[in-house]
């Protein structure tokens, strides 16, 4: 088998899902042909960078659209997202998108900005008629539904920009009671998008610590989304799968292909951070390439 063929093998393969982290972005693997499938293309932590993104039915962005939430950067991001051909684009903010955090930003903007950005103008860019025309849906502790074909499955998507306290950035919550209060409001959804990861899942920083959210990890056995997209921890980019019949173990795939049998309930986790960082940089230093490519997840419309 050639190296090209090997790169097209899914890292995760089940009767109802396929997930790819390595492939040719200009010639990505095709969707399964048996039954109806939806292709989700996952990116996060793009920080105003532009790069090649494979076509798919739904583009998901896990936050950190910008460097520090300036209007100029937001307009640049909006132009790029609008230029992408995906019929549906669902995005959230992250801790770097400072001006998206209304209330907090007005109190803290001086740390990064000489003058306060107009938060209403910035957020309206991503929610107005122009954004809708570009197929962009912005979620902030909110849900939407997306259907990629007439009569097809209506996927429920919930998006939240929060993460455990991380210096004095936007959308922070304290671990413990505050985290539990916020996460307790997450509804069940087919697709969950959070900026930060759950504890113990693709959340290890270069120092070796797992810094994901304990409250989110504790809630996931109840929520059981088909796909959970996040970013934030750039160096932990990759895929993992959780078999809910064996809820004590999460299987990080790294280089190993994971295959599950029919009927096994599971969640695919995708840390789709696009900013190169950590040991994975050796495998591809281009932004949005090498070890930091967009992640493709195909889900069967059951």
Averaged over 63-74, what is the pLDDT?
Answer: 98
Averaged over 71-99, what is the pLDDT?
Answer: 98
pLDDT in tens, 266-288: 999 999 999 887 777 666 566 66
Q: With bands split at pLDDT 50, 70 and 90, how would you rate the model's confidence at 2?
A: very low
Please tell me the predicted confidence (pLDDT) of residue 297.
Answer: 98
pLDDT in tens, 232-244: 999 999 999 999 8
Sketch out the chain's domains with CATH numbers: 3-97+123-300 (3.60.21.10)
Q: With bands split at pLDDT 50, 70 and 90, how would you rate the model's confidence at 6?
A: very low
Structure-block tokens of residue 279: 């040991």
Structure-block tokens of residue 220: 């996931």
Please tell me the predicted confidence (pLDDT) of residue 285.
Answer: 60
pLDDT in tens, 7-63: 468 899 999 999 999 999 999 999 999 999 999 999 999 999 999 999 999 999 999
Cα distance between residue 20 and residue 1, in whole Å: 18
* pTM of this structure: 0.93
- CA nearest to 26, candidates 47, 52, 50: 52
For the ranges 128-137, 247-256, 262-271, 283-292, the maximum mean pLDDT occurs at 128-137
φ, ψ of residue 158 to 5 degrees: the values are -120, 135
Please tell me the predicted confidence (pLDDT) of residue 254.
Answer: 56
Please tell me the predicted confidence (pLDDT) of residue 1.
Answer: 36
pLDDT in tens, 185-225: 999 999 999 999 999 999 999 999 999 999 999 999 999 99
Please tell me the predicted confidence (pLDDT) of residue 264.
Answer: 83
């Amino acid at each position: 088998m050639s190296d090209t063929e090997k790169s097209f093998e899914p890292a995760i393969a089940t009767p109802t899902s396929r997930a790819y982290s390595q492939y040719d972005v200009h010639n990505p693997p095709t969707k399964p042909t048996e039954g109806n499938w939806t292709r989700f293309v996952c990116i996060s932590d793009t920080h105003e960078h532009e790069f090649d993104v494979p076509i798919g039915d739904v583009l998901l962005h896990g936050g950190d659209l910008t460097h520090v939430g300036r209007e100029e950067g937001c307009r640049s991001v909006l132009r790029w997202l609008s230029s992408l051909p995906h019929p549906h684009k669902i995005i959230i903010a992250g801790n770097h998108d400072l001006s998206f955090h209304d209330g907090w930003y007005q109190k803290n903007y001086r740390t990064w900005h000489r003058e306060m950005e107009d938060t209403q103008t910035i957020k309206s860019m991503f929610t107005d008629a122009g954004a809708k025309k570009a197929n962009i849906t912005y979620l902030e502790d909110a849900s939407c539904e997306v259907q990629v074909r007439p009569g097809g499955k209506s996927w429920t998507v919930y998006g939240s920009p929060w993460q455990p306290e991380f210096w004095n950035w936007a959308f922070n919550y304290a671990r413990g009671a505050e985290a539990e209060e916020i996460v307790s409001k997450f509804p069940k959804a087919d697709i969950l998008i959070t900026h930060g990861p759950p504890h113990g899942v693709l959340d290890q920083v270069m120092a070796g610590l797992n810094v994901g959210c304990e409250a989110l990890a504790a809630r996931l056995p109840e929520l059981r989304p088909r796909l959970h997209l996040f970013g934030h921890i750039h160096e932990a980019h990759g895929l993992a799968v959780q078999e809910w019949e064996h809820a004590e173990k999460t299987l990080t795939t790294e280089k190993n292909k994971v295959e599950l049998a029919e009927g096994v309930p599971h969640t695919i986790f995708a840390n789709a951070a696009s900013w190169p960082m950590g040991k994975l940089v050796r495998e591809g230093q281009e932004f949005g390439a090498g070890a930091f490519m967009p992640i493709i997840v195909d889900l069967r419309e059951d």
